[in-house]
Structure formats: structure tokens, C-alpha cells
Amino acid sequence: MTVRERLRQNISAAFYRHGLLCASYPVPIILFTSASILTCCYPLLKLPLPGTGPVEFTTGVKDYSVPSHEPQGDLGERPDWYRGPPVAYIQQVLVKAAVSPWDSSLVPVDVFRSPLGRVFSLLEEIRNHVYTDRSLETLCLQVTELLPGLRRMQSILPEHGCLLVSPGNYWQNRRDLFDSDPDILKTVHQHEPKGIHTSATLKDLLFGVPGKNTGVSLYSRKRVVTYTITIALSNYDSRFVASLRSRLKQLHPSVNCTLREDHMVHVHFKEEIGIAELIPLVTTYIILFAYIYFSTRKIDMVKSKWGLALAAVVTVLSSLLMSVGLCTLFGLTPTLNGGEIFPYLVVVIGLENVLVLTKSVVSTPVDLEVKLRIAQGLSSESWSIMKNMATELVIILIGYFTLVPAIQEFCLFAVVGLVSDFFLQMFFFTTVLSIDIRRMELADLNRRLPAEAGMPPPPKPGPLRTREAPPPPRPSAHTITLQAPAFRNLRLPKRLRVVYFLARTRLAQRIIMVGTVIWIGILVYTDPAGLRTYLAAQVAEQSPLGEAGLPPHLGVAPVFPGGDPTSTLSVLPAPEPTPLPENQSQGHGASRTGSAPMSSPQISWGSEDEEVWRRLSFRYWPSLFSYYNITLAKRYISILPVIPVTLHLSPQEAVEMRHPQDTQHAPRTSAKTTDIQTDLTLYKVAALGLFAGVVLVLLLFCLYRVLCPRNYGQNGVQHGRRRRGELPCDEYGYSPPVSEISPLLLRGHSMDIECLASDGMLLASCCLAGQIRVWDAQTGDCLTVIPNNGLRRSSSSGCWEHRDGWDPLTPTFDPDGLLGAESRSPVSTAAAGAPDASEYAEPPLRRRATPSRPALFGDQPDLTPLIDTNFGELPSSLTASARGFDFGGLVEKAYKEHEVSPTVHFSPPTPPAPTAPPQRRRSLGDNPVAFPDRISASPGDWDSSVWSMELRGNLIATGRSSGKLELWDAVEGSLRCCNEDGSSGITALAFLNNRIVAARLNGSLDFFTVDTNKPLGLLQYRGPPGRGSVPSSPCYSSEDVISCQLTRSVQCAHQKPITVLRAAAGRVVTGSQDHTVRVYRLEDSCCLFTLQGHSGGITSIYIDQTMVLASGGQDGAICLWDVLTGSRVSHVYGHRGDVTSLVCTNSCVISSGLDDLICIWDRSTSIKLYSIQQEVGCGASLGVISDSLLVTGGHGCVSFWDLNYGDLLQTVYLGQNSEGQHVRQLLVLDNAAIVCDFGSELSLVYVPSVLEKLD
């Protein structure tokens, strides 16, 4: 045993045990898995939202220098983007202005008119500020013109000059325009966009504070006007900025201002996703969804396909989330755009394993216990799963050594994702699968419970099925297992399904609800004052990394006492730590209340004013710069500390321009936090990740060891005892010996098979050559061969001696013997003077050459079982003679004569069977008077072919075209008796109990009684006690002498040839070409009803033990009759052309027609449920195995259909070379086997799981 094999075995065994574990404890395992998913996803909470949130980095102002372009190794805390000069330095002047004290004589406009008016003087001051030789003009960011699409803003935004933005821009920075403006609010609001807007509006842009904080409103209760003057500098000159700051502070001192001025914030903007970029992204997502669709489409044969598909997707998604979470936990920040790499990750991880698992589990034998199925399925796929995983890991490892950071990161994610995906597959998906399969079996169980209720419990079948002891028939309650179907067809009307689906799931309601929720969500999210800005603020607040790198002494937030000047001077290169915002707010609250009495006009400066731009949309800066076609994507800006300016205006001033009063300003608490990004190296992370994976696996292994006992259901055959609370579907104690459907081919006939009969244990078939073979219906062994040549010979020459030749051939007949018989037959015909040697070569030829049946099958070749349907069209001499009324009396008279004379009566009392043949032959030969038909018969008599055959017990009754009725011993192969009372060909036979009913071509109906001379032997059961379990088939032992007596002959049962004959429940039903159906009582041959209702000849009849009678005619109509009253229950037109066969189940009627359509009708309402289109010529073969399983024949195959839904369950191909052959007849045996003939072969198909798990 090589290492590989040993490994393989070990893996397989491990998977087997694991499968047992998962299927045994589904709920704890799912809980455990969910817990681990949540645990692994927990670090994701700290992650910034994926998207375009800006990233910040804070440095001190004092020692600021423009960062160099070269990456510096030692400065690990610097982010990667902090290189080179920024796009611009932003200097903001935050102006808070109030009219104080507020006078009751002032009007609301005065709140903002005069404060806004001050902006012009401030602007003047800033523009004209000069430090040494530098002025603002030399330092500021020069912008050219606006984008072409922004012409309407041309008058407002600066062009060809410094980028300096303030509310004054509304009035072109001209005081006179402002003074003459009658309505300031209108001017401000005329540029606001209507409706929902996401990015910064012009008002935000110019005021520099969120719209509701400006105070420019008639209804403002705070009465403080806040705005900023934003200056974009291209070069940073610290002395100029400092002098500007001191100058403004000096002019407009802010009394209680404690704003820190030592920090400079660099904001890096990520690449925004434009529409152009969105297209490839959308494409990849479309491909992803197509992939998921095509993958999950393959999930089949489970209870809830969608449920499993969902579980598969959940598995993959949560494994991705887990991998991201784990990577974050170990400090690796995803720098890649998550949305972009996500589809590729899914594709790399793939759904394949999940599907393979499902397929493998589903294809295990359905009758096993659920956990055994899971275990077997897992272990059979274990090797391929492990191999695939190893391959993928190797590929990813190779990718890792490309040493490209992005690819390395991708690979790292993929590795962790793969491992976690494997974990989830093994635990989550397998468990879900086990639950699903258990549900499926439960559902099946529930479905068949009502069917069982009315039935006596069937006896338990023996462990070994042999021919002697076949399992008793089970008329209903079957389930079927099926391996991957070739294709599925949903035959229930589509719209009905859709409607049902909608109704069942209340889909419309839910869609509307979800739509509403999504809509509200979008509204909230896109509202400029709503969630989005909040989220952006949150994102900005929360550092992308944990605080792991922070020195502990900085963990306490410094509290600034009011107006402490030293704090502004302190040079702290370290950033201000995150936590404890309440400390700050407390400190500021204290400073506020301490320094400012409530009565005085109050302009307070809180920590939130330090970085007023944080309260704006994070798209504020990008949109401002984008107006000048400057992108901030992947670049950064540096924001200098804000310069506070406080303006107190007296009421007189306000009144001069128009006026204000007292204000209240309730600042919000908002914590400014910045962080240092700590960065563990990639390699450390990789090592840690691997370590964690190993630990996880070890942990699980230990857990498994603890939970799963060692000797737990090792081999799949033993079954656990019933445990309390366990599901009943686990208790199937029965495992059939054969677990998959494999047809058994019965070869031996040299020509096409004409007749087929079975009683459940034996199977008799007759081919065109007249050869009858008897098969064992269980094993498919050929028991007996009854060749035709002897009979033909004897009938043509009148000499019966000949049969010595074939009599000994009985029970074990091998192909050689058959060949011998076949080779003999031409000789015998030649000796008889019959010229048709060629008839053996080509059956159709022979058929056409037969004078008595010209063109019988010429037009309807595939409907051999329904030969009868076309008798009306035949210009046959026999039918013609029988049809005319003139002959009626004559024939009747002849029959009366027959009844008088003891015609065919075999009464030698003594002879034992082996020695019987000569005697019997003699007796037959001694009764020449008994064969009037032979005298009067046409030349076709010698060639009498078998037209109908029945098998009951071990007697085969054959009806021949010559009108002869023969009884053969099925086992011995000997002729037991022969009745030649009728001259017209027997078109149909029914063999019930000890009566045989024969329908003849001339429309007469003969009732025969089969008698044995030993009355006790009549009901003797076949063979040894082991065979005694067959109650309904009496056996005629070979010792008995059997006689067949014509008890009654109904001469003119029908005016035209009888086409169908069925007998059940003590009734004999005949259908004829004369459009009528007649019902006879079997005991006394009394005609009970003549059922009229068809407008064409009757082609098919169904009657069963429950007295259901259905008939179908050439007009395509199907009638249901009440047998007790003879009334017509329903009448539907179902087919174009003849109805070729009819079957009823408890709930529905199944009909097939010449139009190759199989229709399923509801029996009570006569509504067509659905129809199945068959292949050409295969429409007639049809059988029902149980209430829910339909079998149809096709081209070399039989198909199983679910009757309830019309789904194709499985197609079984009968042989490799049988493609071109139709299945023409299909017989369902009691033991759930199907016999069908195609060409010269018979096929015995067992449906193993039909032996359902009742016990």
C-alpha cells in the first residue's frame, strides 16, 4: 500500500466520521459555526466602511516640512500616501458673528445681514495682508477657469485667481452689491439644487459649514451666524500664515477661544468610483452572478434547491468575511478595494466543492440512514476535495512569491478565505445538507401516510427475495430514488406554478415591503444631513487601525482648562488620542460656564470648531477642487489650523444696516480623534494567520474527538437502535440489495415480441415467430421455450407426432437449443409445402404475406398491443363473414351443434405428466370432428399466429388467429389442453380465476371454464410451502389433467370486432369497433350494461378492483363510467386520434393517444392537469407503479415521471444498441418491476427503492 493510498484511505475515513458527526448533531454544529463566523467577523466592525472615505494623518505645525517623495524606511507610522507636497494647504478662517445684545426691536433679517456684511472687510484684510514681501497673491493656489459644465456658477466661484471662497462670493465680493441686495436669503438659496443631492451644495461650499449651522435663516433661534473664509494655498509659508493669524486675532479677539493650533491634518482622498469605473465592476459582478447561477442550477434532487443555493452562497460570503475579519484582527489592513476584488475572490474560492458535496451525498442510496448517507457522500468526495484544495493553495502560494504587494495581499486573503471556506463547508454546509435531506425524507413520509392509512399493513418482506418468495404486491406508497436525472421538465402549467409560488410565499407583499425599506434607506443615506454624513464622520473618527501602537500614557485625553495658552504652544507630535470624548466636552463645558455669563451675548468656541470641515460632507473638498478640474483622488490636502474670528456687533450697527440680539449656542459634543497607523509587516501577518489556522484546526480536532465516539456507525450497514426523539425517517431498517436502476435484458426471441403476459412471478412472451418463452420475473432466467414449429406442422399436416422433438427441451433451454429449433423450422415448413421460407428472415414481410391479415400493421406499426383497433378497416374475409347479419343465424346454429357434442374434453383420468404427451396428442388427433374450423378454415390456418396471451398460475392461455385457444404449462412447456370451438381469431383474452374469456374477431365472446379432474387440486398452491405466499394465483399442478370447456358463447356480443377485453372485480368489459362498451358478469356471462357514449370505436379500457371503468375511443374521447349503475360519470376529449391506453390511479386518469401525448386528468373533476409529450410512436406504452410514479416507454429507454408534478425523474436506458427501438409494450409487475419489450428483446427493470421503507 503506497503512501498515497494510505493517505487517501485515512482522509476518506476521517471524512466519513466527520459526516456522521455533522448529521448527528446538526443544531449544535450550526450554532457553533455561526458563533465562530460572528467571532471572526467581529473585527470588521472596526474597519472603515468600504468606499471612498478619506484617510487622515496628523502632524504638528511647528516642525512641519513638506514630505519628500522618497519613501523613508524608519517612519513606519507615516502612511504611504504622505509623500510629496499636497495639492493645497487649506487655511480656514472661521467667523462667528452675533448681534449683541439682541434687541426686541430688531427684525429676523438682522440676525444675519450685518454679520454677513462684515465678510467684505475681513476679505479685504486678508487680501491685503502682507508679511515682509509676501502677499496672499504669491502664496495662494491659482486657479484657472471653471469646468465647461459649470457656466452658471461663473459669477460666483472665483476664476483666474486665488482660490478664496467665502459667502461674499454670492455678491462677487462687492459690498455695494450686498448692500443693495433686497433679499439675501433668495440670493443664497437660488443656487440650491432641488431634490435629493449627495455631494456638497454651493451653500455648503461657500459658507464652509453645514447649512443648518450657518444661522442664515429667518427662524434661527441661535442668532449666531457662522461662516468660513477658505483660502487655498499652494505653498506653505509658516511665517505668513502665523502673521495672518495674529493679525486677525488681534483685530477680532476671541475671548474664550481654546482652539488648538498646533495640528495640521492631512486628508488623503481615495479614488472615487465614477461611472466609467463602475462598468467593469458591474461586468465582473454580472459574471459572478452568472457563475453563481450556473453553479447552483446544478444542485438537484434535494428538498429545497433554493435553500441549498442560499446556503452555498452564504458559505462563500461568510468565509470571505471571516478571512477579512481574521486579517484585520492580525493587523493587516485591506488596502485593496474590497468591492473590486470580491468577485475574483468568490471565483477563486468557488462553489465547486459545495456542489460536489451535494451531488455526492444525493447520489448515495436513498434508503440509507441520513447520517450514513452524509458520511458516505463526504468520504467518497474527500480525496478530490482535498486534492483541489491543495492545488489551489499551491497556486496561491506561487502567487504569493510574485512579491507584488497587491497580489500578495490578494493571495493572503485568498488563503485565509480558502481555509475558512473549507471550515464552513465541512461544518456549516454539510450540516445544512443533512437537515435538508432529512426534511426531504420526512416530507415523503408525510405524503404517503394518508395512502397507507386505508390499507392493512403489508407483511414484512423476507430478507432475501427469491423466486419462490416474492414480496407481496404493494399497490401504493412508493418513493423513488433517482440519480442525477438527465434533464428535468416541469410539466405543470407554468403560470399555475407561478401563481402558486406567489401565493405561497406572498412574494409580492414582501417585495413591496423590501422595496419600501430600501427606498427609505436610500433616502436616509443620501440625505445630506442624514446618515451618510454621520457615517462619514464616524469613518473619519474611527481610525482604520486599532490603538495597539499607541503609547499607554497617551491613552488619557488631556483636559484643557479654559484659555490655557500653553496647550496651544505645546509641541506634541503625537496625535491626540481617541477615547474619552466626554472628558473634553466636560472640560469645555466647564470653561464655557465659568467664563461666560449667560446674559451676555455669547459666542462660544468648542472643540468642534477646531475642524469645522469635518461636519461637512467628505466630498466637500473633492467637489470644490473638481470645479477647477483638479482631482483629489489618491492625493491629499493639508488643512491648517483654523483661525477663529469672533465678531460682536452692537445693535446700533445692526440697525444701521438692519438688526439683532442675544443668542444661545449649544455646541454638540464631538470628539476629534486621530491616530497613528501602525503597520505590521505582511510577513508577520502571514505567519500569524497560518498559526491561527493551525490552532483552529487543532481545536476542531479536539472538539471532534470529544464529541464523536470512536466506534460510531463505522460501516454503513448496521443500523442504530431507535433513540428517543429521533426522527422516524432515520429508522429505515431495510436496504435493498440493488441500489440503482439497471435494466435486465432478456434475450432469446428471434423476432419482435408480440404478446406479453405476466402474473408477477412468471413472464410469458410470444414473438412473431410464434415462439413462446417463459421467464422468471425475478431473475430474468428463461425457464421454458415453446417453439411454434410443431404446432404449425401438425396443424397443416394433421400429424401431431412431431412434438416429441421439443418436449424434452423444457426447463433449461439454452441458446443452442433455440438455434436448433430455429434452424429446424424452415425445414419443417418446407416439408409442409409452405413456400414462405423468407418469412422468417423478415417479420414484416411475413406479415404482409399472410393472407388472413393483409396490411394489418401496415399503417399502425407501433401499436401492437392494440392490434385490435383497426379491425374495422380490414377487408378480412373473416370479419366480413362475421359482420354480416345473414351469417348470424348460421353461425349460431353451428355453435349450438358444438355445444351439444362434447367437443374438446380431455378426460383420461390417469396419466402422469411426463408420459402424457403421446396420449394427449392422440386424444387431440382422435377428435377430428371437433375442429370444424379446420375444415372450413382458410389456408392461413396452418400459420395461425398467437394474437393474445394470458398467464395465470402456471398456465399460459394463448389465443390464436385460427380461433384456437390453447393452455400451456408454463414450467413444463407442454400443451395442457386445446379448444378449437371458435373459428374466428381470438383478439383478446382474459384469464381470471378459473375462467377464460376470449373475444373474437367476429364480435363474439366466449366464456371458458378451466377444470381439473381433481377438484382438490384446483386451488392447490404452487410448489413447496415457501411459495405459499401467493394467494391469488391458483396453481395447476402438472399431475392434473386440465380441461377447458366452453361454458357460454355470446355470439353477437358486438356488431363489430371486439378490440379490447378487460376483466377485473368479477366483471368482464369489452370494447368494440361498434362504439359500445359492454359489461358482463363473469360468473354467469350475463350482459349487465351496454355503455354508449363514444363516437368512435373503442380502443382502450381500464377497469380495476375498485370498479373504476374508463374507456377511450378512436374519437379521442375518454369516458369514465360507474360500473354499478352503468351511467357515464364524465366524458372528455383528450387526444387527436385514438386513445391508445388508459390507466387510472386513485386521483387521476392517465391516457395516451396516437398524438404521442400523455395526458393526466384529475379523476374527480375531469380537468386536465398536464400533458407529457412523448417521442413519436412511444405513446402507447404506459404504466403506473404507484400513485405517484408513472413509467413511459421511449426510444430504447423508459422514463419515470412524478405524477404529482409531472417531473421527469429518471430515464433508464435499456441497452447500448437499443437506441432505435421503441418500447412498445410496458407491463408493470406487482413487485415493482417493469417489463418492456423492444424489438426482439425484453427488458426487466427493477425500481429498487420502490420497495419503500414502510417498516
Partner 1 sequence: MAETTRVSSNGTAPRGPYISVITNRTTNLLIRGAMLFGVGVFLALVLNLLQVQRNVTLFPPDVISSIFSSAWWVPPCCGTASALIGLLYPCIDRRLGEPHKLKREWSSVMRCVAVFVGINHASAKVDFANNVQLSLTLAALSVGLWWTFDRSRSGFGLGVAIALLATLATQLLVYNGVFQYTSPDFLYIRSWLPCIFFAGVITMGNIGRQLALVSAHQQT
CB of 624 to partner 1, least distance (A): 12
The burial class, CB within 10 Å (0-12 / 13-18 / 19+), for 1204 is middle
Three-state DSSP at 476 gives coil
The burial class, CB within 10 Å (0-12 / 13-18 / 19+), for 1087 is middle
Nearest to 1209 by CA among 1194, 1223, 1198: 1198
Contact 364, 19 (CB under 8 A): no
CB of 393 to partner 1, least distance (A): 13
Query: With respect to partner 1, which residue has the nearer C-beta, 1156 or 1252?
Result: 1156
CB of 752 to partner 1, least distance (A): 5
Query: With respect to partner 1, which residue has the nearer C-beta, 725 or 1220?
Result: 1220
Query: With respect to partner 1, which residue has the nearer C-beta, 98 or 348?
Result: 348
Residues in contact with partner 1 by the rule CB under 8 A: 147, 149, 271-272, 274-277, 279-280, 283-284, 287-288, 290-291, 294-295, 297-298, 340, 343-344, 347, 350-351, 395, 398-399, 402-407, 622, 626, 629, 631-633, 752, 842-844, 847, 857, 861-862, 864, 1156, 1173, 1175-1177, 1195, 1219-1222, 1239
Query: With respect to partner 1, which residue has the nearer C-beta, 793 or 853?
Result: 853
CB of 1122 to partner 1, least distance (A): 37
Query: With respect to partner 1, which residue has the nearer C-beta, 626 or 1055?
Result: 626
Total residue count of the chain as it appears in this document: 1255
CB of 1201 to partner 1, least distance (A): 17
Q: How far apart are CA 542 and CA 44, in angstroms?
A: 12
Query: With respect to partner 1, which residue has the nearer C-beta, 846 or 1062?
Result: 846
Nearest to 175 by CA among 255, 95, 120: 120
Distances (CA, A) of 668 to 256, 374, 606, 749, 762: 17, 59, 8, 98, 94
CB of 862 to partner 1, least distance (A): 7
CB of 288 to partner 1, least distance (A): 6
Query: With respect to partner 1, which residue has the nearer C-beta, 398 or 512?
Result: 398
- Residue 975 C-alpha from the chain's centroid: 58
Sign for the CA dihedral angle at 831, 834, 839, 843 comes to negative
CB of 844 to partner 1, least distance (A): 6
Say which residues have a Cβ less than 8 Å from residue 1161's Cβ, sequence separation at least 6: 1118, 1132, 1134, 1148, 1149, 1150, 1151, 1167, 1168, 1169
Distances (CA, A) of 125 to 157, 207, 250: 20, 18, 12
Query: With respect to partner 1, which residue has the nearer C-beta, 752 or 759?
Result: 752
CB of 683 to partner 1, least distance (A): 18
Q: How far apart are CA 22 and CA 430, in angstroms?
A: 7
Query: With respect to partner 1, which residue has the nearer C-beta, 352 or 1162?
Result: 352
Query: With respect to partner 1, which residue has the nearer C-beta, 25 or 857?
Result: 857
Contact 330, 40 (CB under 8 A): no
CB of 403 to partner 1, least distance (A): 8
- Residue 30 C-alpha from the chain's centroid: 21
DSSP string of 768-796, one letter each residue:
TT--EEEEETTT--EEEEE-SHHHHHHHH
Nearest to 270 by CA among 339, 337, 351: 337
Query: With respect to partner 1, which residue has the nearer C-beta, 277 or 814?
Result: 277
Nearest to 367 by CA among 738, 734, 742, 740: 734
Q: How far apart are CA 925 and CA 921, in angstroms?
A: 6
CB of 1177 to partner 1, least distance (A): 5
Residue spans of beta strands (DSSP E) within 260-395: 263-268
Q: How far apart are CA 1103 and CA 1106, in angstroms?
A: 8
CB of 49 to partner 1, least distance (A): 19
Cβ count within 10 A of residue 765: 28
Q: How far apart are CA 865 and CA 1062, in angstroms?
A: 13
CA angle centred on 1138, ends 1207 and 842, rounded to 5°: 95
CB of 870 to partner 1, least distance (A): 14
Amino acid 246 reads: S
Query: With respect to partner 1, which residue has the nearer C-beta, 730 or 1156?
Result: 1156
Bridge partner list, 1153: 1139
- Residue 1115 C-alpha from the chain's centroid: 42
Query: With respect to partner 1, which residue has the nearer C-beta, 290 or 698?
Result: 290
CB of 176 to partner 1, least distance (A): 35
Say which residues have a Cβ less than 8 Å from residue 292's Cβ, sequence separation at least 6: 309, 313, 346, 351
H helices within 154-201, ranges in order?
175-179, 184-189
The burial class, CB within 10 Å (0-12 / 13-18 / 19+), for 1191 is buried
Query: With respect to partner 1, which residue has the nearer C-beta, 385 or 1044?
Result: 385
CB of 386 to partner 1, least distance (A): 17
Query: With respect to partner 1, which residue has the nearer C-beta, 214 or 358?
Result: 358
